Amino acid sequence: SDLNQYLPEDINKDLYNAKFVGTTLGRYNLNRLRLAYELDTAFPNDTYITFQPNKQFLNETLKHFSSHYEKELEWLQTKQFDVDLTSKHHMGMIDWYDACRNYGNVWNKFQIEVVSETDSIDNFWFTEKTANCLATGKPFVLVSGKGSLQRLRDLGFQTFDTILDEAYDHAKHPYQRIQHLTAALQELYNSPSKDSDITELYHLANQNIDLYRNYCVR
């Protein structure tokens, strides 16, 4: 469906103070916890990360698996997340239309968005999380089912394999995708052509705006 009816009409696209990557994580799942941890570890002081679930809930949920997630839980205790919306639900759920209406709160906070889709296992169920990027010209990497980027290309949308290594799209397990896409982002982050490459990412992403509009009126 066309999300433009919910997105703010005027989005501040001044990226002067933007962090390198950002992700807005609502309802809890384990892959999202790992994603937040991996990004914050890879790009210290250059991330914008919202993570809505409350820490007490996470500690209770993972207490029997603490040996497996020791690093993540230790990091969680002191991490101060960014805030765009406030969820009153222990799992951090935010209604999709509220997420769209408030997307302007975060658009210019980061240069590249890391989209964590609702289903990161084996589904091509794209939601407002991906559509927000397509509709507004935001470059993104995608934590979704295997082959999701190819599915977007099949629909006519631009992805970013001329700049970013998108081989992560073929990884079988979500955590493998997270690790591989983080490595691809690190390669860009450390590249001598980083600034011009990010400019090219926005050139590609801007093409998706009209593609998205045309797709919605078919």
pLDDT digit string, tens, across residues 97-144 = 888 888 999 999 999 999 999 776 666 678 899 999 999 999 999 999
> Bridge partners of 23?
49
Instruction: Measure the CA–CA gap between 139 and 134, rounded to whole angstroms.
Output: 8
Q: Which residues of the chain have pLDDT under 70?
A: 1-2, 120-124, 216-218
Task: Please give the pLDDT value at position 1.
Answer: 52
Q: How far is CA 67 from CA 28, 64, 74, 146, 173, in A?
A: 20, 8, 11, 28, 21
Task: Please give the pLDDT value at position 65.
Answer: 85
pTM here is 0.93
Instruction: Measure the CA–CA gap between 94 and 175, rounded to whole angstroms.
Output: 24
Task: Please give the pLDDT value at position 19.
Answer: 98
Task: Please give the pLDDT value at position 122.
Answer: 65
Task: Please give the pLDDT value at position 109.
Answer: 97
